[in-house]
């Protein structure tokens, strides 16, 4: 072993100054995610794409002869709405489960934080990676809807960006949940009480204008509602000034959740 | 990478901060609720030495290690690592240090090469040098032939070697080793000892926590004995033995009654003694003076060792 150690230690260059939120640190943490993705992309992609596509086919095809919303066919309506569902599922769940497993079971975060990476960089990188993925997965239902006759629009190219911003917020929401949860079973409360109503009451399957006034107000606070509106307006080539408001809500949600995730998980990662 | 480059590097770092301690803690306190894990700890670790933090389980060694990477924040006191003030500049300090944790936190789903590549990035090893750094670390871990094996499939010893190599990927000038050989079989332990020793020879400062006396005695230039969150004694292993256990020890063997009698006699004469497995060990056998000397029980005389000093200092039995 000692002969091998001839080269044990590399010459240490003069240490350069490190900064806050270094791209190199983010890239380092994300490189790990990329390697893991290389191993698990099939199952991850399958679950992230299949679930919304099944909703789309079940509701869209099942109800299309009965339902028409405005001038839209129901497949088009649901196809665009389910984009938001795909984004939600592929961001909130990895945010919750990956964080909890890597932090509590695999102690990966302990190892990363012993390197020159701080909590803010670690969480930001994890959330960034999830939201990039969510932006891509959000396209799947749209492609299916196109296959069922939704006319392609140039503005659809904005959908990955909308998915990225929405996914960022929900991934950070998932990280926050993981930070606060005592056990992984507690995620069930969030899934049933928060995520399920959220994806149903967002104008995904039916317009919220049909809901009672109280519920409608609640629905308007739902970030997913704003995501649905944006995606629909982009997909149908109807983008207007109202969409600036939707975009602002999503950006605001992402920023608030990001800081909350850094604060809550940071509090628990550092003794 | 040659040894020459290395000497240059360590000379340069010595030049930068002449005489400055590699690690310095002053009056550090860390509480977890009611429990005081570290209780007014003072520690000065000069550069280039292998420093052993020796103490029983629960003495506060791991908490101290975590404070040095700012993964635990001190409630009171000052901490400096490589001249950087913690926690403010801890990220900067971590750029230049390597950490080998007590608990294996390797990514079990990655291959050895992938683990090392990810950490080469986290430690900001420039892209052009990354492959070389990974190859070098694989060589340190003696895992070249298993480079593409998934960590989960490695043996315990291989995993520990990979864990050490991961902490050395960027050529740190300070390495923290938290209980580096706990739970390893003797052969793997020997290998790691060789590795740690060679780091020190290369001018790397090593801080190692351990509750294995033999490990501290063999490797450490300076040992600080920790008990209940503070340092109770510090010195070279030989100094600690001399000042806390003397030169010689008499080990008395016999029946329980004989041992009780010997123990009672030691107490009456003010001799330091301790139970040592089946025997009673009486310290400072060379100077059992006064009227009591004639009372000195029959037994085996042997040179005092660090274990005698450790037990005297901490009052804890060895596992």
What is the pLDDT, as a whole number, of residue B100?
95
Quote the CA–CA distance of B259 and B168 in Å, as a whole number: 50
- Chain B residues whose CB is inside 8 A of the A115 CB are 94, 99, 119, 122-123
Q: How open is the CA angle B220-B221-B222, to the nearest 5 degrees?
A: 90
Confidence of residue B272 (pLDDT cuts 50, 70, 90): confident
Give the per-residue pLDDT at A6: 40
Q: What is the mean pLDDT of residues A22-37?
A: 94
Kindly indicate the confidence band of residue A40, based on its pLDDT and cuts at 50, 70 and 90.
confident
The CA radius of gyration of chain A, in Å to the nearest whole number, is 21
- The pLDDT, as a whole number, for residue B316 is 67
| Gap between the Cα atoms of A103 and A97, Å rounded | 10
Flag the least confident range among A20-34, B110-124, B221-235, B273-287.
Answer: B273-287
- A108/B105 Cβ within 8 A: yes
- Sheet containing B35-45, strands listed edge to edge, beginning at the edge strand earlier in sequence: B35-45, B23-32, B76-81, B84-86
Which residues of chain A does B204 touch, with a Cβ-Cβ cutoff of 8 Å? 9
Q: What is the pLDDT of residues A108-166, one digit of tens each?
A: 999 999 999 999 999 999 999 999 999 999 998 898 888 888 899 999 999 999 999 99
H or E stretch at B86: strand B84-86
Q: Which two tokens stand for residue A125?
A: 């990188």
pLDDT at residue A7, rounded to an integer = 41
The two counts, helices (H) then strands (E), for chain B are: 11, 14
Q: So what CATH class is B247-303? A: alpha beta
Closest-CA distance, A179 to chain B, in angstroms, reads 16
Q: Which of A55-69, A252-266, B158-172, B298-312 has the lowest mean pLDDT?
A: A55-69
Q: Are B219 and B193 in contact (CB under 8 A)?
A: yes
Phi, psi (deg, nearest 5) at residue B52: -105, 130
Quick check: B170 and A10 CB within 8 A? yes
Mean pLDDT across chain B:
87
Res A41 pLDDT > 70:
yes
B171 touches chain A (CB under 8 A): yes
User: Where does chain B hold its CATH 3.40.50.300 domain(s)?
Assistant: 3-236
pLDDT digits (tens, 9 = 90+) for A199-251: 888 888 888 888 888 888 888 899 999 999 999 999 998 899 999 999 999 99
For A158-199, the pLDDT digits (tens) are 999 999 999 999 999 999 999 999 899 899 899 888 998 888
Which CATH topology does B3-236 take? Rossmann fold (3.40.50)
Residue A11's pLDDT is: 43
- Are the Cβ atoms of B71 and A114 closer than 8 angstroms? yes
How many angstroms away from the CA of A261 is the closest CA of chain B?
A: 17
Q: Is the pLDDT of residue B290 over 80?
A: no
Q: What is the pLDDT of residue B9?
A: 43
Q: Do A12 and B142 touch (CB under 8 A)?
A: no
| Record: contact A271-B106, CB cut-off 8 A | no
Is the pLDDT at B127 greater than 80? The verdict is yes
Read off the pLDDT band of B270 (50, 70, 90).
confident
Query: What is the distance between the alpha carbons of residues B173 and B98, in angstroms, rounded to a whole number?
Result: 8
Strands A72-73 and B50-54: unpaired
Q: Which element (helix H / strand E) includes B99? A: strand B97-100
What's phi and psi for A65, nearest 5 deg? -80, -20
Distance from CA of A245 to the nearest CA of B (A): 38
Share of residues in chain A with pLDDT > 90 (%): 58
CB contact under 8 Å between A271 and B73, yes or no, is yes
pLDDT greater than 70 at residue B154: yes
Predicted complex ipTM: 0.88
- Which pLDDT value is given to residue A209? 86
């Amino acid at each position: 072993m000692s002969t091998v150690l001839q080269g044990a230690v590399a010459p240490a260059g003069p240490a350069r100054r490190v900064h806050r939120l270094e791209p190199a640190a983010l890239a380092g943490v994300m490189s790990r995610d990329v390697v893991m993705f290389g191993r698990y992309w099939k199952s991850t992609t399958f679950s992230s794409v299949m679930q919304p596509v099944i909703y789309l086919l079940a509701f869209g095809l099942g109800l299309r002869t009965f339902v028409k919303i405005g001038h839209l066919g129901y497949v088009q309506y649901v196809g665009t709405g389910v984009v938001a569902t795909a984004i939600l599922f592929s961001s909130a769940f990895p945010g919750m489960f990956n964080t909890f497993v890597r932090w509590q079971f695999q102690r990966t975060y302990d190892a990363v934080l012993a390197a020159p990476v701080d909590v803010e960089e670690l969480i930001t990188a994890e959330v960034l990676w999830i939201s990039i993925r969510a932006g891509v997965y959000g396209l799947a239902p749209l492609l299916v809807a196109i296959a069922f006759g939704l006319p392609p629009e140039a503005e659809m190219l904005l959908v990955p960006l909308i998915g990225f911003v929405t996914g960022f917020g929900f991934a950070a929401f998932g990280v926050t949940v993981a930070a606060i949860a005592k056990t992984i079973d507690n995620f069930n409360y969030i899934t049933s009480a928060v995520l399920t109503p959220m994806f149903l009451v967002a104008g995904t399957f039916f317009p919220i204008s049909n809901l009672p006034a109280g519920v409608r107000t609640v629905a308007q606070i739902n970030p997913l509602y704003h995501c649905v509106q944006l995606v629909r307006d982009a997909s149908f080539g109807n983008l207007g000034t109202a969409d600036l408001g939707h975009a602002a809500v999503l950006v605001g949600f992402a920023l608030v959740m990001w800081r909350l995730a850094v604060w809550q998980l940071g509090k628990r990662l550092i003794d | 990478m040659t040894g020459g480059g290395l000497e240059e590097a360590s000379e340069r770092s010595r030049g930068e901060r002449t005489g400055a301690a590699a690690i310095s803690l002053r009056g550090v306190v860390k509480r977890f609720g009611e429990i005081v894990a570290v209780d007014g700890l003072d520690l000065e670790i000069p550069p280039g030495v292998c420093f052993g933090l020796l103490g029983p389980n629960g003495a506060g060694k791991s908490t101290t290690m975590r404070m040095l990477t700012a993964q635990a924040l001190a409630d009171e006191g000052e901490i400096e690592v490589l001249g950087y003030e913690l926690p403010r500049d801890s990220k900067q300090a971590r750029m230049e240090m390597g950490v080998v944790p007590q608990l294996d936190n390797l990514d079990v789903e990655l291959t050895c090469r992938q683990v090392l590549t990810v950490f080469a990035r986290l430690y900001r090893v420039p892209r052009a040098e990354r492959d070389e750094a990974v190859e070098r670390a694989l060589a340190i871990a003696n895992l070249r032939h298993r480079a593409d094996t998934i960590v989960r499939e490695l043996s315990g010893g291989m995993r520990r070697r990979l864990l050490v190599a991961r902490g050395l990927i960027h050529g740190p000038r300070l390495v923290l080793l938290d209980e580096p050989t706990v739970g390893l079989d003797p052969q793997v332990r020997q290998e790691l000892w060789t590795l740690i020793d060679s780091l020190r020879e290369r001018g790397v400062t090593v801080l190692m926590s351990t509750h294995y006396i033999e490990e501290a005695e063999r490797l450490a230039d300076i040992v600080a004995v920790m008990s209940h969150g503070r340092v109770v004694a510090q010195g070279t292993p030989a100094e600690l033995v001399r000042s806390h256990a003397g030169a010689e020890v008499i080990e008395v063997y016999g029946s329980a009654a004989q041992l009780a009698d010997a123990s009672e006699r030691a107490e009456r004469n003010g001799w330091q003694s301790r139970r040592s497995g089946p025997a009673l060990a009486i310290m400072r056998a060379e100077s059992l003076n006064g009227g009591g000397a004639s009372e000195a029980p029959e037994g085996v005389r042997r040179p005092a060792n660090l274990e005698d000093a450790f037990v005297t200092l901490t009052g804890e039995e060895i596992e």
